[in-house]
Amino acid sequence: MQSLRVTKILRMGLTLALIAFASSPALAEKPGKAAAKKAAFDATACYQCHAPIKAFHADGKHKSVGCNSCHDGIDKHMGDAKARPTTKVDPAACGACHAKQFETLYTMNWNKIARSEKSQATGPSPNPAWEKLMIPHGFTKEHNVPRSHAFMLMDQFVVDRAFGSRFVPKDGWQYLTQPGGNFKVNDMVKDQYPDNADHKPFKPGTAAAANPVCLSCKTQDHILDWAYMGDPAPTAKWSRSSKVVELARSVNHALNCFFCHDPHSAGPRVVRDALIQALSRPEKDTLWHKDKDGAKIDIKNLGVRGHTRKIALLDRYDTKLQCGQCHVEYNCNPGTDLENGKAIGMGDQRTNHFPFKDVTQIAKHYSDLKFRDFKHAITGAMLWKGQHPDVENYYNSKHQKAGVECHQCHMPKVKDKKTGKTYTSHWQTSPRNYVKETCLNCHGDWSERQATYVMDSLSARYQGKARKAEFWLTRMVDKFEEAKGAGVDDSVLNPVREKHYEAQINWEWWTASNGAAFHNPEAAVDSLNKSMAISQEAIKMLEDATAAKRGLAAK
């Protein structure tokens, strides 16, 4: 009955829309006289059915931008509601007006090498510690330092852990000569197995760990066909449980502009559903809830296609939330239920989940959620796998408390050399590439060399602590293997497994982060020291139990 009622309402709205559309002065033609100038688009007819959009568009900065600027096929849609217009999801649609922002989005950073694994000897989480601590997780197949926003979808397609070597660059390694990332991904890659949608490793040394939720961090090409939380819905083409290969074949653009900018009002917003769910949790337990200066949010349901689809409008730009759509710890994969030991599949909402909490809270959060990512191959401990909790680390840091936002360091205001006009650079990169526009804005008595010296020194301090934490963690794993071989029973091993979980979090939280050394250096050092202490406690338990077992055996 409800769906019938909705259908009737839509038909009524469409009838009104057609009347308004047909009588629109902007569309009236004068026979025999060519128009000197193309008439402005009259959105009155569109508003008849898309009432929520009117509230954004009519009073927003984009009120003079016609619907036909971002949608094709409007004429057919007006005649047949089922003939939906297409929406331009390519950032180039925005770049037609916002030329400098578009240009800088695709600025090449030649210092960010492609396929540079974090587990290299000089990486954030070097081997042999990385393999031993993460075995058998898919991230042991390939775990790379990120290049840029523009490349993140392409790099996801070809990384060894995502699609099992299904997608390969059409031009082989020559694809790396493509600067900037301004291309359609499916124009750049070849699907080696186009006749099937099997998601499996096709070559040794690869994994098939990609899924629709993890792709949602890289692109929102599918935004109109994805229900809130990725829940399956008859009117939504894609869901958490969709075949990820089919979804991958349908998307092309990394980091669409409308992740952060509402296309109708030009105002700030967020679209990632799991973040919106976290911000609206009744527990009010996120870092944002405790941030008295954080942006206010207004959650809107735009599910006019028949399924719930939410966005959250912000009362000001708050890049902790906007960057926190992706630069954040979130769960985007299957796992294991701690309560019953059963597998958690993509049908479970826990596979699309944002804690939005800091490192001191995360262990309890996932225990309360009854979720673990993987079972360690040596200790058997049920462990968590981090994503990239950059925003959570930044909360409560000295810079954040001083009111500095993410964009002020990573996407600062710069001057156009030709026109002298100021605009926001969308070359999201390290502040060391923008020292004058970032660090020296506040630290005016510093030189550029002094600023980079501080960054390098903080990094050196952090890297030393991270290596120490890795040593003690790997030592604990080795001692565990020794104890198990000596016959130490689970009355000792199980408490050690819990300590492994805690120690691993306080190490891997930081190796999974970008800029961990700078975002909150005090918190990083404290957490890594905590990891060491927990590992050492576990080692003592194992050594004592092993010695006791061997002493008994000797008798």
119, 143 in Cβ contact below 8 A? yes
Query: 167, 112, 121: which is closest to 145 by C-alpha?
Result: 112
Cα separation of 170 and 187, whole Å? Answer: 8
Minimum mean pLDDT among 19-28, 133-142, 264-273, 302-311: which range? Answer: 19-28
Which of 55, 88, 121 delimits the end of a domain?
88
Reply yes or no on whether the pLDDT at 432 is more than 80. Answer: yes
Residue-level pLDDT at 52 = 82
The pLDDT tens digits of the residues spanning 389-429 come to: 999 999 999 999 999 999 999 999 999 999 999 999 999 99
**In 3D, which of 324, 349, 315 has the Cα closest to residue 513?**
324
Q: Classify residue 361: in a domain, yes or no.
A: no
> What beta strand segments (E) does 380-498 contain?
382-383, 413-415, 422-424
Can you tell me the mean pLDDT for 450-472? Answer: 97
Q: 136: cis peptide before it, omega within 30°? A: yes
CA nearest 294: which of 395, 408, 410, 399? 395
Judge whether 509 lies within some domain: yes
Q: What is the pLDDT of residues 283-292, one digit of tens each?
A: 999 999 999 9
**CA–CA distance, 357 with 392 (Å, rounded to integer):** 6
Q: Are 158 and 141 spatial neighbours (Cβ–Cβ below 8 Å)?
A: no
* Under 8 Å between Cβ of 74 and 68: yes
Question: Residue 159: pLDDT above 80?
Answer: yes
At 4 the pLDDT is 39
Q: What is the pLDDT of residue 551?
A: 87
Q: What is the pLDDT of residues 119-129, one digit of tens each?
A: 999 899 999 99
d(CA 106, CA 149): 9
Which pLDDT belongs to residue 3? 42
Average pLDDT, stretch 445-464?
A: 96
Position 255 in a domain? no
Contact 4, 16 (CB under 8 A): no
| Cβ-Cβ contacts under 8 Å for 96 (sequence gap 6 or more) | 69
Assign residue 20 the CATH number of its domain. Answer: 1.10.287
Q: Which residues of 96-109 are buried (b: 16+ CB within 10 A; e: fewer)?
A: eebebbbbbbbbbb
Q: Is 502 a member of any domain?
A: yes
Q: What one-letter code names the amino acid at 383?
A: L
Band of residue 38 on the pLDDT scale cut at 50, 70, 90: low
* Percent of the residues in the chain that have a pLDDT greater than 90, as a whole number: 84
pLDDT, mean over the chain: 91
Q: Kindly state whether residue 457 falls inside one of the protein's structural domains.
A: yes
> How far apart are the C-alpha atoms of 488 and 74, rounded to whole Å?
71
How many CB atoms lie under 10 A from the CB of residue 16? 14
Q: Please give the full DSSP string across 194-234, using - where no structure is assigned.
A: TT----S--STT------HHHHHHH--TTGGGB-GGG---T
CATH number at residue 486: 1.20.140.10
Report the percentage of the chain scoring pLDDT > 70: 93
Domain encompassing residue 11? 1-24+42-88
| pLDDT higher than threshold 60 for residue 55 | yes
Conformational region of residue 113, where left means phi above 0, alpha means psi within -120 to 50, and beta covers everything else: beta
More confident site: 306 or 541: 541
Contact 224, 303 (CB under 8 A): no
- Which of 182, 262, 249, 167 lies closest to 212, judged by CA? 249
Task: Calculate mean pLDDT across residues 529-534.
Answer: 98
Grouping H, G, I as helix, E, B as strand and the rest as coil, residue 537 is helix
CA separation for the pair 272, 493 (Å, rounded): 40
* Domain tally, the chain: 2
| Per-residue pLDDT band at 521 (split at 50, 70, 90) | very high
Of 32, 55, 88, which closes a domain? 88
Cα–Cα distance measured from residue 331 to residue 381, given in angstroms and rounded to the nearest whole number: 19
The pLDDT confidence band at residue 254, using thresholds 50, 70 and 90, is very high
Calculate the dihedral angle through the C-alpha atoms of 270, 274, 280, 283, rounding to the nearest 10 degrees.
-140
- The pLDDT value recorded for residue 210 is 97
Burial of 403 (0-12, 13-18, 19+ CB in 10 A): exposed
- Per-residue pLDDT, 286: 98
Q: Would you state the pLDDT for residue 318?
A: 97
**How many residues are present in the chain?**
555
Asked if omega into 52 is within 30° of 0 (cis), the reply is: no
- Separation between Cα atoms, residue 366 and residue 359, nearest integer Å: 12
pLDDT at 555: 64
**Do the domain assignments include residue 1?**
yes
If one counts every other C-beta atom within 10 angstroms of the C-beta of residue 529, the result is: 14
Alpha-carbon distance 322 to 327, whole Å? 9
Is residue 378 in some structural domain?
no
Three-state DSSP class for 86?
Answer: strand
The CA distance from 443 to 423, in Å, is 22
pLDDT on residue 56: 86
Mean of pLDDT values over 44-50:
87
Torsion angle of the four alpha carbons 377, 328, 183, 160, in this order, in degrees rounded to the nearest 10: 0
Cβ distance 202 to 164 under 8 Å?
Answer: yes
Query: Residue 294 — pLDDT band, cuts 50, 70, 90?
Result: very high
In the block, residue with structure tokens 């699907």 = 191
Answer yes or no: is 380 within a domain: no
Q: Is 320 exposed, middle or buried (0-12, 13-18, 19+ CB in 10 A)?
A: buried
| Greatest C-alpha distance within the chain | 111
Distance separating alpha carbons of residues 18 and 48, to the nearest angstrom: 9
Calculate mean pLDDT across residues 255-276: 96
Specify the residue for token string 């688009």: 41
Q: Does residue 20 carry a pLDDT above 80?
A: no
| Helical spans, DSSP H, in 390-438 | 390-394, 398-401, 406-410
Q: Taking residues 505-529, what's their average pLDDT?
A: 96
Per the rule left: phi > 0, alpha: psi between -120 and 50, beta: everything else, 475 is: alpha
Query: What average pLDDT does this structure show over 481-508?
Result: 97
Q: Which residues on adjacent β-strands are paired with residue 423?
A: 414
Number of H helices, E strands in the chain: 22, 14
pLDDT at 83 over 50: yes
Euclidean distance between the first and the last CA atom of the chain, given in angstroms as a whole number: 79
pLDDT digits (tens, 9 = 90+) for 374-392: 999 999 999 999 999 999 9
Give the 3-state secondary structure of 35-60.
Answer: CCCCCCCCCHHHHHHCHHHHHHHCCC
